[in-house]
Amino acid sequence: MAAGNQAEGVPAPEVRAERSKFDAGVAHSARVYDYWLGGKDNFAADRAAAESVIAARPTIVRDVRENRAFMRRAVAYLAAEAGMRQFLDIGTGIPTSPNLHEVAQDIVPETRVVYADNDPIVLSHARALLTSSPQGATAYIDADLRDPGTILKEAARTLDFTRPIAVVLVGILFLISDGDDPYGIVTHLMDAVPAGSYLVITHPASDVNDEAVAEGARRYNQSVATRQTRRSITEVTRFFEGLDVMEPGIVQCHRWRPGPGLDVREYEVSAWAAVARKR
């Protein structure tokens, strides 16, 4: 078990240097997303790709920010109300404060968090992710979601798999094509955690604002090496088979337990979201 602020799972400096090489002239999914979130870790190619999507789908910036806000609400719910003390966040992305561990450890300082991503750009930010509360632990795994076995093995250095774990897959499954069996990957992860664990998912929708979303996806796939696969609510529902989906169910992400006084009926967000508990 890792303690405090250890960097379990982070490769040696020479490996990090090799893995961190990237082509700034080619748009990259993490940097495009960073641009939409208002970050500064992006290059001209990323901004051009992001703006091309915005031109076809002006609501994309709001949508990705609502996606991020959902993550913070879901983690706060799990830490404060569901008693979760362990989180496995796969597909971390470039850090955007507050990060998952900051939300959870602000509520319960002893919370243990493992981040996993295979992106050299995200890897370069691993130190920012690894700032834990003294009572808890935060670790980073350099691994691909398509290799859940490695993720689970490395996560066991920090997390106790005999106790409930929240598996967080926010805005990542759409980068897994049907040919890579995203449903099998989720099943593998949830089979490894005990009863009382949770699954948290957001997934870009193919059936909300269909025409604009389809054109935005087409432009995105033309510019970014990692293509996206958007899915309908029926397809997203399959990820939760055998689990108990918490209220209000599988909904657009901004409609999942919104803050008081917010009228989330006024607009649509093209992303499905839910939190579910393993029996």
Angle (CA) 203-193-187 rounded to 5° is 45
Look at residue 5 in the predicted model and tell me its pLDDT: 41
The pLDDT of residue 16 is above 60: no
Q: How confident is the model at residue 117 (pLDDT cuts 50, 70, 90)?
A: very high
Rounded mean pLDDT, 139-146: 94
pLDDT digits (tens, 9 = 90+) for 61-102: 999 999 999 999 999 999 999 999 999 999 988 888 899 999
* pLDDT score for 22: 60
Q: Which residue has the tokens 């309908």?
A: 232
pLDDT higher than 50, residue 12: no
Residue 93: per-residue pLDDT: 85
Instruction: Note the CATH number of domain 13-24+60-208+243-278.
Output: 3.40.50.150
The span from the CA of 132 to the CA of 4, in Å, is 6
Ordered by start, the domain boundaries in the chain are 13-24+60-208+243-278
For residue 53, give the nearest of 204, 266, 264 by alpha carbon.
Answer: 204
- Helix spans in the chain (H): 13-19, 29-36, 44-56, 60-80, 100-107, 120-123, 126-129, 148-155, 182-191, 210-223, 233-237
Residue 142 CA from chain centroid, whole number? 15
Who wins on pLDDT, 106 or 264? 106
What values do phi and psi take at 198, rounded to 5? -130, 155
pTM, rounded to two decimals:
0.88
